[in-house]
């Protein structure tokens, strides 16, 4: 089973939280501190042309605030206090901080042989003492071993846990780097570190070192036959990062690394909130080490500053794009709102909300957001998770016992007969947060399709309890955890909120999210006094003809009080209301002094929870290079081409059936909301073009 970033830390938080935490003042960061990686000078060090003391002095002369030492250059000095004390004094004289000690050649902590593991732990413990003597707060180790990835995982977890406990007693954090073999598989390493969070193990996220399989079976020597995507890998490791290795090999005429996009990599770093030292390491062989280091640092310094996204030019692009869709007759009206760094940077409304009445689209127009209800439901559920009401990997039936006897569909016929089997494992709460529970939501499955249609699960007269009872009597489409299949999971989340909180779902959301944030226009039932502000809905036929749907039909759910208060759809909202929700998320769960979630919880929600082996993902890949967190899609890699939806790596987002859209971009502190009322869901490229208008022309990203 896959483990996920920050899980153990957040479990402790869930038990400890009693009162909301006030919003911290948002100050403009002064910029990163840079440390110099000793490996940059490995050639002169191994050749005897430079010693460890000269390296430290050089780092100070070059203006670095810290240095990362490598034990290979003083392999025999682990238990030499005179040497270690002298090296520490040299750093003090050079006015540089010793930030990390990188440990190599001390044995394989993931070895299958228990005796070999014991020897590796003993050798590493010597270096724990050396690290403490040097006054260094962190040591980097490797998770190398033999056997299958799962076997190495289990062996490494056992050994590293012992090592980390001893290191913690000395005030030292153990960090694991993506550094060859299976440790260079980002998902594998993130899972290992997640298992070890209770002993404070973190990562060193290296810009390179993503080859996890070589043709000759070696760790480093042969041709790479399997390489992990560097951008997805950095996304996997940054939630745990205690260090970052900013590495370069070559430079083009503009000073860029031709095989890595530093802008994207620094987006990931900024978006993660990392505020430690950035280690500069030049690993090429075409330049003198000092020159290579200077070029690497210069590229980092150029890549760090956050560039303004929504400029005057961008505002003109957004206006032109939205107006163009209206003028072409593809939509009746659209409105959009964008915030950047806490400030409104764009607002615009075009066309009609009600074309027949000539009512213009406006900033305060009320729209039906459909599936953009889901993230609000997810926030409600995770508030209860913070309160310790459940754990994500608990069986769902622990809290909703009606799901304790579900079966899994095998085959069936159109007359309603079905063959089923027992589930391989129970549905977990995590499954309903990431759409892997197995609930059917359409498609050609004889027997199952007819049974779901007959159950009328989302009939407006059902309560959430009715929905749960009916759903639990129906077979699952697939074994829990094996596929991503969008649908009813978030309605089950709403039922879980009701059961855990003891409140009706809509009352809970009103009391704990909407009212505290002042989202007065976000609701299921729209009172008559506000209905003149509701946008009509429109259907665009295959031939491009746009038809206004009758309001009585399109608005039926929201202008009549219904027993059903679904978690997966049903809310209405305005631009400013939904933007308030988005801004709370980009701020880490707090807005204007009101705390809805803790920052660690928001980070967990925007972390990918889909393992690579979940390959059946319905239409999710159409959203771009994404995974899925807790009720959000999460962008893991840059767009591969101009046709993909634009966006920043690390953003999280969702949309609605009526073609509404919002996203949160932590790297740029940007939030965007787009409102239209168009069916069927965006067949005209509106989302793509709106995103392109915000971010500008497509630029290919190096992916070697």
Domains, in order of start, for the chain: 35-303 (3.20.20.150), 377-501 (3.40.710.10)
The Cα–Cα gap between 3 and 9 comes to 13
Query: pLDDT-based confidence at 98, cuts 50/70/90?
Result: very high
Buried (b) or exposed (e) across 560-581, using 16+ Cβ within 10 A? eebebbbbbbbbbbbbbbbbbb
The predicted-structure confidence for 370-393, as pLDDT tens digits, reads as follows: 999 999 999 999 999 999 999 999
The Cα–Cα gap between 540 and 357 comes to 19
Q: What is the reported pLDDT for 220?
A: 87
- Identify whether the C-beta of residue 497 lies closer than 8 Å to the C-beta of residue 400: no
The predicted-structure confidence for 563-589, as pLDDT tens digits, reads as follows: 999 999 999 999 999 999 999 999 999
Tokens representing residue 163 in the block? 């090592």
Q: What is the reported pLDDT for 2?
A: 43
Side-chain-facing half-sphere of 614: CA atoms under 13 Å: 28
Q: Considering only 16-25, 290-299, 591-600, which range has the smallest mean pLDDT?
A: 16-25
Average pLDDT of span 626-654 = 97
The separation between the first and the last C-alpha atoms of the chain, rounded to the nearest angstrom, is 30
Kindly tell me if the per-residue pLDDT of 308 is higher than 90: yes
The phi and psi torsions of 110 (rounded to 5 degrees) equal: -105, 20
Average pLDDT of span 210-228 = 91
Average pLDDT, the chain: 94
Tokens representing residue 17 in the block? 């939280």
The phi and psi torsions of 497 (rounded to 5 degrees) equal: -60, -45
State the DSSP H helix or E strand holding residue 522, giving kind and residue range, or none if neither. Answer: none
Average pLDDT of span 439-452 = 95
> Is the model more confident about 6 or about 236?
236
The SS3 call for residue 442 is coil
The Cα–Cα gap between 596 and 585 comes to 9
The Cα–Cα gap between 180 and 218 comes to 9
In the chain, % of residues over pLDDT 90? 93
Kindly tell me if the per-residue pLDDT of 339 is higher than 60: yes
Kindly tell me if the per-residue pLDDT of 7 is higher than 70: no
Q: What is the reported pLDDT for 580?
A: 98
User: What is this structure's pTM?
Assistant: 0.91
The Cα–Cα gap between 538 and 540 comes to 7
The Cα–Cα gap between 273 and 344 comes to 22
Q: What is the reported pLDDT for 219?
A: 87
Which residues touch 692 (CB under 8 Å, ≥6 apart)? 317, 321, 646, 698
Buried (b) or exposed (e) across 547-558, using 16+ Cβ within 10 A? ebeebeebbebb
In the chain, % of residues over pLDDT 70? 95
Q: What is the reported pLDDT for 562?
A: 97
Sequence length of the chain is 704
Q: What is the reported pLDDT for 18?
A: 30
Average pLDDT of span 173-184 = 97
Average pLDDT of span 98-121 = 98
Pairing of strands 97-102, 138-141: parallel
Q: What is the reported pLDDT for 62?
A: 98
Kindly tell me if the per-residue pLDDT of 550 is higher than 50: yes
CA-wise closest residue to 689 among 352, 175, 211, 331? 331
5-to-11, 157, 380 alpha-carbon distances in Å: 12, 16, 20
The Cα–Cα gap between 131 and 69 comes to 10
Query: pLDDT-based confidence at 27, cuts 50/70/90?
Result: very low
Kindly tell me if the per-residue pLDDT of 288 is higher than 80: yes
Q: What is the reported pLDDT for 594?
A: 98
The Cα–Cα gap between 249 and 260 comes to 10
State the DSSP H helix or E strand holding residue 655, giving kind and residue range, or none if neither. Answer: strand 652-655
The Cα–Cα gap between 522 and 236 comes to 34
Query: pLDDT-based confidence at 700, cuts 50/70/90?
Result: confident
The predicted-structure confidence for 667-680, as pLDDT tens digits, reads as follows: 999 999 999 999 99
Q: What is the reported pLDDT for 702?
A: 67
Side-chain-facing half-sphere of 12: CA atoms under 13 Å: 7
Kindly tell me if the per-residue pLDDT of 12 is higher than 50: no
**What count of other Cβ atoms lies within 10 Å of the Cβ of residue 342?**
12
**What count of other Cβ atoms lies within 10 Å of the Cβ of residue 594?**
17
The predicted-structure confidence for 129-165, as pLDDT tens digits, reads as follows: 999 999 999 999 999 999 999 999 999 999 999 999 9
Residue with tokens 């560039």: 307
């Amino acid at each position: 089973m896959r483990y996920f970033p920050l899980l153990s830390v957040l479990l402790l938080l869930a038990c400890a939280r009693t009162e909301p935490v006030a919003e911290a003042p948002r100050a403009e960061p002064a910029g990163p501190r840079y440390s110099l990686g000793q490996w940059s000078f490995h050639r002169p060090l191994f050749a005897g042309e430079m010693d460890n003391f000269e390296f430290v002095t050089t780092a100070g002369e070059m203006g670095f605030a810290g240095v990362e030492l490598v034990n290979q250059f003083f392999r025999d000095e682990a238990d030499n206090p005179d040497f270690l004390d002298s090296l520490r004094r040299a750093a003090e004289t050079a006015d540089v901080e010793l930030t990390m000690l990188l440990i190599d050649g001390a044995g394989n902590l993931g070895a299958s042989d228990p005796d070999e593991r014991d020897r590796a732990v003993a050798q590493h413990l010597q270096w724990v003492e050396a690290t403490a003597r040097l006054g260094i707060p962190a040591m980097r180790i490797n998770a190398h071993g033999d056997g299958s990835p799962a076997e190495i995982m289990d062996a490494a977890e056992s050994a590293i846990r012992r090592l980390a406990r001893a290191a913690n007693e000395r005030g030292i954090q153990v960090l694991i780097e993506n550094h060859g073999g299976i440790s260079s598989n980002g998902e594998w390493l993130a899972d290992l570190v997640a298992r070890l969070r209770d002993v404070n193990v973190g990562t060193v996220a290296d810009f390179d070192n993503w080859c996890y399989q070589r043709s000759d079976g070696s760790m480093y020597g042969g041709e790479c036959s399997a390489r992990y995507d560097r951008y997805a890998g950095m996304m996997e490791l940054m939630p745990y990062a205690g260090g970052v290795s900013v590495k370069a090999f070559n430079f083009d005429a503009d000073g860029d690394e031709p095989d890595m996009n530093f802008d994207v990599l620094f987006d990931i770093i900024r978006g993660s909130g990392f505020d430690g030292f950035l280690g500069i390491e030049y690993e090429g062989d075409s330049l003198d080490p000092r020159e290579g280091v200077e070029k690497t640092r210069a590229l980092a310094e150029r890549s760090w500053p956050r560039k303004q996204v929504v400029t005057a030019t961008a505002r003109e692009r957004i206006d032109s794009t939205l107006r163009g869709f209206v003028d072409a007759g593809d939509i009746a009206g659209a409105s959009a709102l964008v915030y950047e760094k806490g400030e409104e940077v764009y607002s615009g409304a075009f066309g009609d909300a009600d074309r027949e009445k000539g009512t213009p689209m406006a900033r305060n127009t009320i729209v039906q957001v459909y599936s953009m209800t889901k993230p609000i439901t997810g926030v409600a559920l995770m508030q209860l998770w913070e309160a310790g009401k459940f754990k994500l990997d608990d069986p769902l039936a622990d809290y909703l016992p009606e799901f304790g006897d579900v079966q899994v569909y095998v085959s069936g016929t159109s007359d309603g007969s079905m063959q089923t089997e027992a589930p391989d494992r129970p549905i977990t709460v995590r499954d309903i947060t990431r759409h892997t529970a197995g609930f059917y939501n359409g498609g050609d499955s004889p027997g199952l399709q007819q049974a779901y249609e007959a159950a009328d699960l989302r009939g407006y007269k059902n309560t959430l309890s009715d929905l749960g009872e009916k759903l639990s009597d129906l077979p699952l489409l697939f074994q829990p955890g094996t596929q991503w299949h969008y649908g009813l999971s978030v309605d089950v989340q709403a039922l879980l909120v009701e059961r855990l909180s003891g409140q009706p779902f809509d009352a809970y959301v009103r009391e704990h999210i909407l009212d505290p944030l002042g989202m007065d226009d976000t609701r299921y039932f729209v009172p008559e006094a506000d209905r003149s502000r509701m946008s009509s809905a429109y259907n665009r036929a295959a031939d491009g003809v746009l038809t206004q749907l009758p309001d009585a039909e399109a608005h039926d759910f929201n202008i009549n009080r219904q027993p059903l208060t679904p978690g997966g759809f049903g809310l209405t909202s305005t631009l400013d209301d939904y933007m308030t929700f988005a801004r709370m998320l980009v701020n880490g769960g707090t807005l204007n002094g009101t705390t809805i979630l803790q920052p660690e919880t928001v980070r967990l929600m925007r972390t990918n929870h889909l393992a690579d082996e979940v390959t059946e993902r319905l239409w999710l890949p159409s959203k771009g290079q994404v995974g899925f967190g807790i009720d959000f899609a999460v962008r893991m890699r840059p767009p591969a081409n101009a046709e993909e939806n634009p966006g920043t790596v690390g953003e999280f987002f969702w949309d609605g059936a009526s073609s509404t859209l919002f996203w949160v971009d932590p790297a740029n502190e940007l939030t965007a909301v787009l409102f239209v009322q168009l069916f069927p869901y965006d067949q005209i490229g509106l989302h793509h073009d709106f995103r392109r208008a915000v971010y500008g022309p497509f630029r290919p990203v190096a992916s070697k």
